[in-house]
Amino acid sequence: QMVVTSLLEAAGYSVATAMDGFEALEYMEDNADTLPDLLLLDVMMPRMSGYECLEQLRELYPVDLPIIMISAKSEATDKLKAFALTCNDYLTKPFDRVIVLARVETQIVLRAMLRKRMEEEKDDIVPVPPLLTSSPQ
């Protein structure tokens, strides 16, 4: 956790950390008005696995919130489990710092593009006037 935190902070990102899935969910609840641009979840956390936390996060928050799983587990079944729970990406330890930053930046850019598109589509919606009815005379 400290390695990723220092890597992201050195790249200019603001980082908040949680020691387990319960703390992560609590942080998200306490900051629901200003959700983070991205979440990094370790698969192996105390008290609640990253998979369990991911599942709960996806029930509570929109799919446009990027979630990248990080794990020493590199088997295809581990990755497929995370993707089945709709994580956006999966990094295995040990990882290349440049790749971590590239994947983080990609997810943040994709989220910004999605939000822009959603706003444009919202602006394109033309309100339909109410139907006029005439009362029988």
What confidence tens digit (pLDDT) does each residue in 51-81 have?
A: 999 999 999 886 778 999 999 988 999 999 9
More confidently predicted of 131 and 29: 29
- Express each pLDDT in 89-134 by its tens digit: 999 988 899 999 999 999 999 988 988 888 887 776 666 666 655 5
Three-state secondary structure call for residue 37:
coil
H-assigned helices in the chain: 2-10, 21-30, 50-60, 76-84, 97-124
